[in-house]
Amino acid sequence: MNRKFWILIVVVIVILGIIFIPKILKNEGGKTVKFEVLNKNEVPKKIQELLPRYMSEERALACKVEDEVYVIVTRGEKKTAGYTVTIDRIEKVKSKNNFDLIVYAEYKDPKPNELVAQVITYPTVVVKTELNKLPNKIKLETEYVE
């Protein structure tokens, strides 16, 4: 009976390892960055002037305005309304020179039979972060949600 008990313990440890090790490795050792989503009227004027250059692209970028670091995610040009983008989380990952950011964004598209306005839109989100320096690189990870 003692031997069966130890075999059971080993099997449980292996199963837990299979479940949790990929989650730990996927995190890449990143530290979560706190951020605040801004309304259109809260976005600094400098960013509002910069946005038209990037709105037609799907990307994440960061900019520093008056010692505050902002992260922007754009989805590009869409032919109808109903497309959205939100930031789920931002992770700070160590790199050779300084640090990089991984921005996890969630995309939502209109449903196939949903009635939407036939107007060109540029889904964008701007957040103010707790960072005080710009990252070397930004990687955008996207997930489509219903």
Closest C-alpha to 54, from 34, 71, 33: 71
Closest C-alpha to 79, from 123, 139, 119: 119
Q: Give the containing element (helix H, strand E) for 100.
A: strand 99-108
Which residue blocks in 27-69 are alpha helix, DSSP H?
Answer: 45-50
58 Cβ contact list (under 8 Å, min separation 6): 74, 75, 76, 140
One-letter identity of residue 142: T
DSSP at 27: T
CB 54 within 8 A of CB 63: no
Pairing assessment for the beta strands 99-108 and 138-144 based on DSSP bridges: parallel
pLDDT in tens, 39-59: 999 999 999 999 999 999 999
- What are 89's two structure tokens? 């989380």
Q: Give the containing element (helix H, strand E) for 22.
A: helix 2-26
pLDDT score for 29: 54
**Which residue ranges in the chain fall short of pLDDT 50?**
28
